[in-house]
Structure 1
Amino acid sequence: MSTVHTVFGPLAPWLVRRGPALPHEHLVLDLGRPQDRHAVLDAGPDTTAVTRELASLREEFGLSLVVELTCRGMGRDPAALARISRASGVPVVAATGWYHEAFHPPEVASGDVEELTGILVREIEDGIGPTGIRPGVVGEAGTSGERPTEPERRALLAAAAAARATGLSVVTHARLGRGGQAQLDLLTGAGLPPHRVCLGHQDLLDDTAAHRRLAAAGAYVAFDTVGKEHYRPDADRLRLLLALLDAGHADRILLSCDVSRRAYLQAAGGHGYGHLLRDFLPRARAAGVDEDLVDLMTRRNVLRFLTGSECDEER
């Protein structure tokens, strides 16, 4: 098994022996727009609250890793991620790539696939700007509908090419869970193996057949908006999760909360990063999900996805 690349360098997966990981979160971001000025986690005033939450989850549940998917054009701040990681004691993986078209920086409109691939590869190999912090995943590479727009298509193709060149995996943003099959077809058509693809926000799509098709194709299916009840009740998420487990696809499921604005923080009265661990998983256990399956979905699958391993072997 190869290493997981965190903001402080390589982390051997066998060191993450116990305790869950959160594979789709944001610790610092800025998606604020005139119609929604509150989609922000500020590197200044919010950092203390984020750090306290992660430290508390490390103490209570043994939180072992956070994959932070704020990428280019989303207010990414790798230096702030390093500060949060150091202060909380929780390893953090940084990301590169492009979100969906509404948040693309000008480089996407002006760049072809080769140019965009070069941008990502340079960050992965040399680090993000002057920080030298190297991303450990490509994502969240976004589309905004059933089919990618032309700029989204180029950004996804660049994500696939950069992942192939550097050995990383790709996490997608599928708005409201739609378009996952089109994303997978595009990425695998560009030569990226399906087990290096995680299709985001599938818990927002009430379509068990679609989930089964994606998992059967070998991709990871993310139920990563746990706790966002205004999008879909957690009761629906649990029903969809149990259906995918019953279909035999436990080894292709990732679970997370996608905290993406200040209002979701516990300090602001929100469900916080720990909702999956404190609330959702106990309901899953009550529905018959055993501890080995919980560990598979919340730890081993995350490590397998990030490293490209197809087995659960550990040192």
Structure 2
Amino acid sequence: MSAVRTVLGDIRPEDMGVSDAHDHLFLSSPRLPGRELCDISAARAELEAFRAAGGAAVVQWTPYGMGRRAADLPGLSRATGVRLVCATGLHQAAHYDPEALKGLRGRLAEVFVSELTEGIGTSGVRAGLIKVAGAFHALDAHARWTMTAAAEAHHATGAPIAVHLELGTGALDVLDLLCGALGVPGHRVILGHLNRSPDPVVQRQAAESGCWLAFDGPSRAHHATDWRMPEAVRDLAEAGYADRLLLGGDTVVAGARSVDGGPGMPYLLRRLRPRLAEVVGVDVVERILSANPAQAFAVDWG
């Protein structure tokens, strides 16, 4: 029987509820000095704000070695009533110390499988997805290494693979590697940040593979996100792909949290949901927020 693997254990997909399909409660990186998501009180307040806006679940895409604080997630989930899904995986090389990456050579897939099936460190928390990342308009050697390990872990566990597309690019290269060369079924791949490179041809070609298309992150000055998102969602829905779409907030720095003055997780439901409903209708939006993430993250764990 399929289940969504949350930090408090496996649940039925239909119990997931309204979901932020891509976000972060905790995240640290040398690329974001001084802007880390590391405050547990702020994380709790953000979840409470999301819950008050009608949210029920958050999928945290923070991968291995980027400050996931997995041991703190069960307590936050219990305290706020928000279901949380945690990630294993590896981001771009720039987010890590080279020596740390060197230590993972030859055992990366093993690490992913262990975190999916046994738990992250001594936390007892099992990951529910694998997060990897592409490069800008390409797949560099690091991306190919991590995606190959992710595919191996997927074949061992069934876990979905969520992909950070750098500025929304490289979607078809990712699918050629994961679904073509490495044999991962399309419906087990989630492409993130497609809204940052709003190419309707690429989006439709990606949807044809059966993968999930994640529109995640509110507007930034250099991203065509909110103002192009409604028409992209409408076009994909009219083409028959409403059942392949996901929405997320992708809060990556402290100043972006709603409790710190930014849009944060509630923005997804407070502003984006009604904006999209004007274009595609309430039923489609609710499907994207509830039924779709339940399917995208449900796995027959065995």
TM beyond 0.5 = yes
In the alignment, structure 1 residue 183 sits paired with structure 2 residue 179: no
Alpha-carbon distance, 1:83 to partner: 2.5
The 5-angstrom pairing of residues 90-239 of structure 1 reads 90-105=82-97, 106-109=99-102, 111-112=104-105, 115-139=107-131, 141-188=132-179, 189-239=181-231
**Alignment check: 8 A CA contact 1:32 1:38 kept:** no
Match of 1:277 in 2: 269
Q: How many correspondences in the alignment?
A: 298
CA distance in 2, matches of 1:24, 1:85: 16
Cα distance in 2 between the residues matched to 1:68 and 1:267 = 18
**1:300 equivalenced with 2:291 (yes/no):** yes
Quick one: which of 13, 36, 45 aligns to 1:52? Answer: 45
- Among the aligned pairs, what percent are the same residue? 34
State the shift of 1:12 in Å. Answer: 1.4
Deviations 1:144-163 (A, max 9, x none): 22221112201111011101
Shift of 1:56: 2.9
Q: 1:38 to 1:203 in 2, by over 3 A?
A: farther
TM-score normalized by the length of structure 2: 0.93
The structure showing larger relative contact order (alpha-carbon pairs under 8 Å, at least 6 residues apart) is 2
1:71 aligns with 2:63: yes
| 2:3 paired residue number | 3
Q: Give the Cα–Cα distance (whole angstroms) in 2 for the partners of residues 198 and 121 of structure 1.
A: 18
Q: Which amino acid aligns with 1:306?
A: F
Note if 1:30 corresponds to 2:28: yes
Residues 107 and 161 (structure 1), Cα distance of their counterparts in 2 relative to 1, 3 Å cut:
farther
Contact 2:217 2:225 in 1 (8 A): no
Whole-angstrom distance in 1 between the partners of 2:33 and 2:40: 18
> What is residue 313 of structure 1 aligned with on the other side?
none
Q: Which residue of 2 aligns with 1:257?
A: 249
**Cα deviation 1:56-103 (Å, max 9, x = unaligned):** 332331x22111011113222101222321221101011101001212
The 8 Å contact of residues 100 and 152 in structure 1, kept in 2 or not, is answered as yes
Alignment RMSD (CA, Å): 1.8
Worse-superposed segment, 193-202 or 232-241 = 232-241
Give distance in 2, aligned partners of 1:194 and 1:3.
19
SS of residue in 2 equivalent to 1:199 = strand
Give the whole-Å Cα distance in 2 for the aligned partners of 1:222 and 1:233.
Answer: 12
Change (3 A) 1:144 1:126: same
The amino acid that maps onto 1:2 is S
1:297 aligns to what SS in structure 2? helix
Give the AA of the match of 2:163.
T
Three-state SS of the structure 2 residue aligned to 1:28 is: coil
Indicate if the aligned counterparts of 1:227 and 1:276 stay in contact, CA closer than 8 A: no
Worse overlay, 49-58 or 248-257: 49-58
- Tell whether the 8 Å contact from 1:108 to 1:155 is kept in structure 2 after alignment: no
Cα distance per residue 1:253-293 (max 9 Å; x no partner): 11111011101111221001011111111111222x22221
Q: Distance in 2 between matches of 1:59 and 1:110?
A: 43
Distance 2:220 2:294 in 1: 25
User: What TM-score comes out, normalization by structure 1 length?
Assistant: 0.89
| Cα distance change, pair 233–295 in 1 and its aligned pair in 2 (3 A) | closer
Q: Unaligned regions of 5+ residues in structure 1, if any?
A: 310-315
Measure the CA separation in 2 of the matches of 1:181 and 1:24.
Answer: 20
- Of 37, 41, 56, the match for 2:37: 41
One-letter code aligned to 1:138: I
Matches of 2:259 and 2:120, distance apart in 1: 30
